[in-house]
Structure 1
Amino acid sequence: MGVLDGKVVLVTGGANGIGRECALLAAREGAKVIVNDLGAGVTGKDDDSPETAEGVARQIRASGGEAVSNRDSVASFTAVERMVRQALDEFGRIDAVINPAGILRDGMFHKMREADWDAVVEVHLRGAFNVSRALVELFREQGSGSFVHFTSTSGLIGNLGQANYAAAKMGVVGLSRILAMEGAAKGVRSNVIAPFAWTRMIATIPVTDEASAQRVERMRTGMRAEQVAQLAIALAADAASDVSGQIFAVRGNEVILFNQPRPIASVARGDGWTPETLLGDALNALKPKFTDLGASATVFPYDPV
């Protein structure tokens, strides 16, 4: 018996990395799987993938599971509608979508091309909208459904050279929160995971100094895609029916719950503020509570568990 027995799960980006591990684990836990992957490289342009969606589906079938493949793009709403139709035609229903599909087009913001901004936002944020909008009414009608979206510490904490990726991934956090709130009365859940894992996308991060080299090596050896998949599958299961609207991270064998923006300090002045009093009093009073500009390595300076 698996935690997804009898369920049907759509996994985007399922040919490589986290998506592949999610698809394989979902099948081992009893789900019928639609493995989606466009078959492109990490920039979304070339076709350097060593695996394909059909290759993963074939592996699942060879192990006694049920799976079909799909090569449409999450960036197209019409294409996502085809994925949903394929799942319904093949398996009669969909119970969860696990959505790690993504690309990177890194660059410092003052040098970022408009095309690189658009491409990343289109896949990550528009893609999250597409899979959510194509399924949310179905989930509401059947009284159950789980969205497992993916965010990044590049957005939650920050990372140099990834303004497009960070903006898109924080948009996914906001989308997931509203999906959870609006779906609560209908049994529709949504959560996000910020993964620490060695994948093709992580492998493209430039190593510019010894500190970044050590960080990348920690990710390669201690933070693996299959560790992230464990939480994604758990969140898709009925046993997690009371878990929604949350932000998690997986770092090696750690599962981390992130807080969400809430007021942490305030100042008030009975006669109102002026620019001068704000500069002289308010901002100085609030400074001890400011969040620093450190990247994720300053928040997680220790080796993965």
Structure 2
Amino acid sequence: MTDVGFALSSELYGPGELVDQAARAEAAGFDFVALSDHYHPWIPDQGESPFAWTTLGGVAEATDEIEVGTGVTCPIQRYHPALLAQATATAAEMLDGRFFFGVGTGERLNEHVVGDYWPPAAVRLEMLDEAVRVIRALWRGDEITHHGDHYTVENAKLFTLPEEPPPVYASAYGPKAATLAAEIGDGFYTVGPQEEPLQRYRDEGGEGPAYAQLTVSYADSEDEAVEQAHERWPNTALPGDLSTELGTPVHFRQASQQVSKADIAEGSTVTDPDPSTHVEQIESFAEAGFDHVVVHQVGADVEGVLQTYEDEVLSEID
């Protein structure tokens, strides 16, 4: 059984629009929504970056049954884990069992805004490990004092708590991150049907659901879809570690000037408007071991993709 969710893209839309999209996704029959948690958009032309935790409060009030989570939050620098413990506990209480907490090691783009040194990947994994452990300790409702390698917490206690703590889904792309995800996560989260890190996660004892994001640019024609993806989301085609190391949206725009429309057309973004292609793509994720697929529409026609999925895609997914 594959659950299909809809990505709430905080880089492209303001908070009110995101709340409306969540309610519309629930009405269309999606199983969950996942909100990106950024300080900046990837490129200036994307144009938005509302505060995720305020937006989630609106989503909680606008929806009734759909699962809601972050896809994903970096808890290591921009946020102190003691504050995130409070934010997540409040979100989980408002959503009454419908909230999941996606975590990852983040990007310099969003985290270095507080002026701290952006550490290398190995250190960020250490920080993520410690941050999640601090958050989980506070979710227990005890008064916590913690003097760790990366974080200090003094006499912190949460008084607003959900009946049950939310699940933590850990993001990973490489083997070391996948190993840590198996240690600290209740599930796995990534972009694209990446079988190797998922297999590493399973081999290391990781259990629970596996989430992967499917990037689509839905429009009336494939040419229009490629045009919109190239204009609105060229960063998806950037190679290597650029996505974690570039510091500003302007840097991403400069790097994205090397991305051509042909790169978009030949890349992983789904630009074919045929509903059967979308069904096939979701099924390919399921075959790779992912039981949760997050559909991320980077094209401009959000209502069009939601309606198409409601009418012709979701009913075809096993």
For the aligned pair, the TM-score class normalised by the smaller chain equals 0.3 to 0.5
TM-score normalised by structure 2 residue count = 0.37
Structure with bigger RCO (C-alpha 8 Å, 6+ apart): 2
